[in-house]
């Protein structure tokens, strides 16, 4: 049974990949900044715009794209600073990215669509739904970090300890030129695992091992027989990611000109809030996109929303694709 299911999934994926069309959209609101996207014509003409999370790209949705294409025509966006889209620090703002995607929907798709966004892409998706309400029929917010992602909110979160602060420190030193090596040596999660499970020198030794591999293979993704492959998934697209995008979160500039409460209040269409179950490390650090209290605030501000909590890591569409697809079906029934 499992082999038949895997064969069916592989056949669907191969069929989908043969239909992928790479395109660029020039956003006139920012001096013709390039917004790259992948178009996957589906069995239905209904558009679905997918907005990835930080340090990923549109390809991140490949695990669910095949199934989604049975019901939608897909538009997989590369946000500014990611993938093959424009890389310029002045573009790394929620409102600029959101306005560019709204402009793309208005002029390129030119008809009402569904929108789904993951992590910071979920914040952008909510923003887009608010600025073009007549063109967004429904929005799926996949584990967006509302109210735990700005300075003053994020200091005791995983994303700050293992992401924003590590990137900031990397950009302000000159001893190590490979961010991957620097992250393993100095990041939160690898040192946490070493200190609690594998020994205090484990992160240091892993960093040295990866540094050696990078000499022969610059795009090496680290691995370890002690950890599942998903541990390293966040590094898959780092070669096409501008670290200054993360720096804009560290400084708070990503939120310039927008207010999180207002972003959620302006969403008029039906919404599904797909949240990974909240958990904390042994040291009290929040190992989730946001806390239960922040999630409750999200629900209070959205006028027509259903919350679904999943026992999963942050990338629900990758780790638990069945639940992501189910959330899309729930959203369809809300229309």
pLDDT at 232: 81
Residue 163 covered by a domain: no
Q: How far is the C-alpha of 241 from the C-alpha of 81, rounded, in Å?
A: 6
Question: Both 227 and 295 in a single domain?
Answer: no
Q: Is residue 160 included in any domain, yes or no? A: no
Domain contains 185: yes
pLDDT number for residue 76: 98
- Contact in structure between 101 and 35 (CB atoms under 8 Å): yes
Residue of 188, 179, 168 whose CA lies nearest to 239: 179
Task: Name the 3-class secondary structure at 204.
Answer: helix
Which contacts of 124-127 are long-range, i.e. CB under 8 A and separated by 24 or more positions? 124/51, 124/79, 124/94, 124/97, 124/98, 125/49, 125/51, 126/263, 126/264, 126/267, 126/271, 127/94, 127/95, 127/98, 127/258, 127/263
The verdict on 125 and 14 lying in the same domain is yes
Cβ 96 vs Cβ 30: under 8 Å:
yes
| Residue 218 sits in the same domain as residue 124 | no
Domain identity same for 132 and 261? yes
Dist CA 135 CA 128 (whole Å): 9
Q: What is the pLDDT of residue 6?
A: 44
Q: pLDDT value at position 88?
A: 98
What is the domain count for the chain? Answer: 2
Say what the pLDDT of residue 2 is.
Answer: 38
Same domain assignment for residues 239 and 264: no
The reported pLDDT for the residue numbered 5 is 40
Evaluate whether residue 156 is within a structural domain.
no
Cα–Cα distances in Å, from 214 out to 210, 211, 242, 260?
A: 6, 5, 19, 40
288: DSSP letter = S
Going by C-alpha positions, the residue among 52, 23, 35 that lies closest to residue 115 is 52
Q: Does residue 30 sit in the same domain as residue 125?
A: yes
Query: Is residue 237 domain-resident?
Result: yes
Q: 221: domain range? A: 168-248
146 and 6 belong to one structural domain:
yes
Cα(219)–Cα(327) distance, integer angstroms = 34
Choosing from 223, 248, 273, the residue where a domain stops is: 248
112 and 227 in a single domain? The answer is: no
Same domain, 292 and 221: no
Among 248, 280, 300, where does a domain finish?
248
Provide the residue-wise pLDDT of the chain in tens; the chain has 335 residues.
334 444 544 555 555 566 799 999 999 999 999 999 999 999 999 999 999 999 999 999 999 999 999 999 999 999 999 999 999 999 999 999 999 999 999 999 999 999 999 999 999 999 999 999 999 999 999 999 999 999 999 999 999 999 999 999 999 999 999 999 999 999 999 999 999 999 999 999 999 988 888 888 877 677 777 777 777 888 999 999 999 999 999 999 999 999 999 999 999 999 999 999 999 999 999 999 999 999 999 999 999 999 999 999 999 999 999 999 999 999 999 99
- What distance in Å separates the CA atoms of residue 258 and residue 94, rounded to the nearest whole number? 8
In a domain, 155, yes or no: no
Answer yes or no: is 301 within a domain. yes
Q: Are residues 172 and 130 in the same domain?
A: no
85 and 45 in one domain?
Answer: yes
Nearest residue to 136 (alpha-carbon basis) of 195, 48, 18 = 48
Domain match, 104 and 24 both = yes
Q: Which of 248, 265, 292 is where one domain is finished?
A: 248
Residue 199 lies in a domain: yes
């Amino acid at each position: 049974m499992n082999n038949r299911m895997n064969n069916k999934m592989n056949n669907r994926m191969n069929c989908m990949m043969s239909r992928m069309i790479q395109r660029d959209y020039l956003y006139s609101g920012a001096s013709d900044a390039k917004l790259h996207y992948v178009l996957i014509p589906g069995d239905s003409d209904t558009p679905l715009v997918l907005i990835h999370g930080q340090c990923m790209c549109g390809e991140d949705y490949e695990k669910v794209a095949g199934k989604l294409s049975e019901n939608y025509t897909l538009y997989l966006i590369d946000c500014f600073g990611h993938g093959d889209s424009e890389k310029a620090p002045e573009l790394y703002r929620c409102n600029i990215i959101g306005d560019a995607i709204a402009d793309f929907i208005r002029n390129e798709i030119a008809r009402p669509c569904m929108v789904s966004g993951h992590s910071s892409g979920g914040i952008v998706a909510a923003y887009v739904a608010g600025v073009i309400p007549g063109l967004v029929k429904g929005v799926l917010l996949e584990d967006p970090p509302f109210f735990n992602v700005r300075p003053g909110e994020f200091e005791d979160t995983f994303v700050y300890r293992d992401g924003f602060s590590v990137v900031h420190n990397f950009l302000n030193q000159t001893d190590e030129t490979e961010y991957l090596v620097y992250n393993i040596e100095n990041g939160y999660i690898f040192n946490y695992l070493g200190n609690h499970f594998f020994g205090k020198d484990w992160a240091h030794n892993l960093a040295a091992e990866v540094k050696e591999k990078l000499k022969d293979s610059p795009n090496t993704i680290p691995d370890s027989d002690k950890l599942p492959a998903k541990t390293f998934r966040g590094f898959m697209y780092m070669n096409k990611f501008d670290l200054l995008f993360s720096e804009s979160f560290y400084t708070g500039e990503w939120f310039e000109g927008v207010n999180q409460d207002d972003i959620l209040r302006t969403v008029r269409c039906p919404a599904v809030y797909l949240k990974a179950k909240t958990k904390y490390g042994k040291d009290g650090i929040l190992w989730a996109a946001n806390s239960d209290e922040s999630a409750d605030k999200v629900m209070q501000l959205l006028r027509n929303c259903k919350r679904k909590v999943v026992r999963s890591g942050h990338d629900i569409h990758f780790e638990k694709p069945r639940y992501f697809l189910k959330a899309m079906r729930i959203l369809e029934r809300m229309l």
